[in-house]
Each structure stands twice: as C-alpha cells, then as structure tokens.
C-alpha cells in the first residue's frame, strides 16, 4: 500500500468514526463515561496488580472504593445543598423586588440621559437579543426533554456506566494490546510514540485538573461558608467544578458570590473578604495547584480547551463534552508532530546548499633518496614558494 492509499484509508476511517459518533450520540453517554472512569482508575488497578492482586479483584476493589466515596460525598453534601437550594428559591422573589424597585429606576434614569437616536438603537438591539434568547431557551428546553436528560436516560447512565467501567477496567491491558497489534507495522514506532504523548498529555491534564477542581471546590465552599455568605456551599462547589473550564469557574464564582454579598452585607469590608477569597484561590491555583498537579508540559492551552468543550457540546451534546478534552489532546499532539515534521523538512529549511567543489590534487614526484646517484637536480623548498 503506497502513501496515497494509506492517507485515503485513514481519512475514510476518521470520517466513518465521526459519522458513527454523530449518529449514535444519544446512546453513547454511558459508554464514554464508563471509558473515562476506567481510564482514570487504571493506574490504581495496575498498582494493585503489581502487588499480586488479581486483575478482576483489583478492579472490584477500586470500583467499589470509588463508588463508596461518591455515595458518602453525596450523602454528606445533598442535605446541605438541598437546604441552601430551598433557601435560594425563597430568596429569589426578594431579589426580583429589589431589582424592580431599586435597579430598574436607576437604569431608566441612565437611559433618559441618552440621545433619542441611541435610545432607538438600544431598544432595537435589546428586542433582537431578547427574541434570540427566548428562541435559544425554547430550543434548550426542547433538547432537555428530547435529547437525553430525561429521567429514563439518567437512570440508564447510572445503571450502565458502572458495568461498562468494570469490564473496560478489567480488560484494559488486553484491549490496549489488541489495539497495538492492529497498528501498521511500518509506522508502529511513530504511532506508539505519539500515543504515549497523547496519554501523557491527557492523563496529566484530566487527572491533574480533576484534583485541582476538587481542591478549589472544597476551599471555596469552606471559605465562603466561614465568611458567613448565604449559599456559599453551592457557589463554592459550582465554582470548583467549573474550574475544569479554565478561568470560567473562578469568574462565575466571583460574580455570584460578590453579587450575593452585596445583597446580604451592609459592610463593604465583608464584601471585600468574599472577593478576596476568590483572588486568593485564583492565585493559589495559578502558582501552586496547576504547576504542581497539572504541569506546564501537557500542551493544552486554556483557549484550546474552552473551544474544544464548546465545539463538542454544540456538535454532539453531552457525549461531545465528554470527548472534547481527549480529542483536543489527540489533535494537539498530532499538530505538534506535523509541525515538527514540517520544520525538519526542506519546505521549511529550504534546499540543502550545494557541496563545495573539491580542489584538484597536484601530483608531485617523490624526491629520490640520492640525487647525485640519480643524476637529478634536487630543488630546495623555497623554490616551490610563490613569489612575493
């Protein structure tokens, strides 16, 4: 198979894979989630296996421990979150009343200061954006009902994901060995090298970023609750979970907490404490947590991660969000590989310079051992030197 046929083969393979993901996106959620859990927990099972524990037993122990930790966390947090959620629902009418009585007259006063022409443009823009927002909200609600967030789908995810995770985690090494045996032999070294780079990038980012999210969520929740902020537990946990999207978690948590603090506290120093919690958390994340847990060599730029998450969600929904970071890691590694090949090629460096033409050698007869006996005239070295 020549190079052109190989390119066509892999291109069609990629097109078929993307088409299957798009067609089956409504049922792939449990399988992608199970694969993600298996990938995250595989190092723990490997460690138990190296200590003599059978693979199936190590898989059972790790998954049961993971499920137990998740259930305990839910049992501890759900009552607290439920109480704060009920309190939030009861508080929303007072916020709406404040906005109608205080904020709306202020906004109207500002609008009265604008020229009539600017007012007409502003009203038109607001009307257009309001119509777009209503349409988008309607589509979102329709999608929630029809595309997989219904109760039946949630139950299927909860029931099927652990089963998929168990079988994938038990057979992980065998699956990797089978996939390795399918690789084209003439390129196996290059493919293995790039697969290792993808694994390092993905494991460094996902496992490290998950730890960062948990640490930040716990810190924000505890610190905001200790500062006396209402709904501090909810805001802190949401901010920590959204920290998986670079800068989004801190920004959302900061705006929500400061907004609640302005409603709740009369003293500005207490509002400043709430804001300072997020400034401190952002500083610790950028200077301690991310360099130590994620590292600076994973090769996933924050803007690239945000774009991947948004594009995956827009194209494939929940499955696209789950696949966004792995695909971003794969594409990033492949792009760096292609750039490396390009910079080592003559397209980037230009043609190699021509080799210099060697000087012709001058044959000189060796001097005789005894010039007198040979009857020749021996010349001294100075006779061969060029004239000044």
State whether residue 73 is helix, strand or coil. Answer: helix
Is pTM, for the whole model, over 0.75? no
What mean pLDDT is reported for the chain? 76
Buried b (16+ CB within 10 A) or exposed e, 21-37: beeebeebbbbbbbbbb
Q: Give the DSSP per-residue string, 135-184.
A: HHHHHHHHHHHHTT-SHHHHHHHHHHHHHHHHHHHHTHHHHHHHHHHTS-
Predicted local distance difference test score (pLDDT) of residue 356: 66
Q: Is the pLDDT of residue 252 over 80?
A: yes
Q: Which residues contact 235 (CB under 8 A, 6 or more apart)?
A: 220, 221, 224, 229, 253, 256, 257, 260
Tell me the C-alpha distance between 155 and 162, whole Å: 12
Phi, psi (degrees; rounded to nearest 5) at 175: -65, -45
- Across 150-188, b (16+ Cβ under 10 Å) vs e yields eeebeeebeebbbebbbebbbbbeeeeeeeeeeeeeeee
> Span 36-41, mean pLDDT?
88
Q: What is the pLDDT of residue 382?
A: 46
Domain boundaries, the chain: 24-119+127-176, 187-348
DSSP 8-state symbol, 377 = -
Q: Look at 383 and 58; give whichever has higher pLDDT.
A: 58
pLDDT score recorded for residue 57: 92
Q: Calculate what percentage of the chain has a pLDDT beyond 90.
A: 7
Distance separating alpha carbons of residues 102 and 136, to the nearest angstrom: 29
pLDDT at 154 > cutoff 70: no
Identify the pLDDT of residue 129. Answer: 56
Answer yes or no: is pLDDT of 150 > 70. Answer: no
Q: Look up residue 100 and give its DSSP letter.
A: I
Token pair belonging to 113: 């200061």
Identify the residue whose tokens are 């190699």: 352
pLDDT at 60: 93
User: Are the CB atoms for 232 and 256 separated by under 8 Å?
Assistant: no
Confidence tier at 155 by pLDDT (50, 70, 90): low
């Amino acid at each position: 198979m020549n190079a052109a046929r190989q390119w066509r083969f892999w291109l069609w393979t990629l097109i078929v894979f993307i088409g299957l993901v798009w067609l089956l996106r409504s049922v792939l959620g449990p399988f992608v989630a199970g694969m993600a859990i298996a990938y995250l927990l595989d190092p723990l099972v490997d460690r138990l296996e190296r200590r003599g524990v059978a693979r199936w037993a190590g898989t059972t122990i790790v998954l049961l421990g993971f499920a137990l930790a998740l259930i305990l966390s839910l049992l501890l947090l759900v009552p607290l979150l439920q109480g704060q959620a009920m309190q939030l629902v009861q508080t929303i009418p007072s916020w709406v009343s404040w906005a109608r009585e205080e904020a709306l007259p202020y906004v109207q006063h500002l609008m009265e200061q604008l020229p009539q022409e600017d007012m007409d443009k502003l009203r038109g823009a607001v009307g257009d954006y309001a119509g777009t927002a209503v349409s988008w909200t309607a589509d979102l609600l329709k999608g929630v009902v029809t595309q997989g967030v219904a109760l039946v789908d949630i139950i299927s995810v909860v029931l099927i994901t652990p089963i998929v995770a168990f079988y994938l985690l038990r057979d992980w090494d065998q699956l990797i060995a089978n996939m390795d045996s399918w690789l084209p032999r003439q390129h196996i070294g290059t493919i293995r090298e790039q697969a290792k780079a993808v694994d390092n990038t993905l494991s460094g980012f996902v496992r490290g970023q998950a730890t960062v999210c948990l640490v930040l969520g716990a810190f924000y929740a505890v610190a905001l609750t200790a500062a006396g902020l209402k709904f501090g537990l909810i805001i802190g946990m949401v901010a920590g979970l959204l920290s998986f999207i670079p800068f989004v978690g801190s920004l959302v948590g900061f705006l929500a907490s400061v907004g609640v603090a302005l409603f709740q506290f009369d003293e500005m120093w207490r509002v400043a404490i709430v804001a300072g919690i997020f400034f401190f958390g952002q500083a610790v994340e950028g200077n301690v947590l991310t360099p130590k847990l994620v590292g600076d060599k994973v090769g996933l730029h924050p803007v690239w991660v945000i774009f991947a998450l948004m594009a995956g969600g827009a194209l494939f929904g929940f499955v696209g969000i789950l696949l966004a970071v792995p695909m971003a890691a794969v594409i990033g590694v492949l792009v760096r590989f292609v750039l490396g090949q390009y910079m080592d090629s003559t397209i980037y460096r230009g043609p190699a310079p021509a080799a210099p033409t060697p000087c012709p050698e001058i044959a000189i007869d060796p001097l005789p051992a005894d010039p007198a006996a040979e009857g020749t005239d021996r010349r001294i070295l100075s006779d061969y030197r060029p004239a000044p």
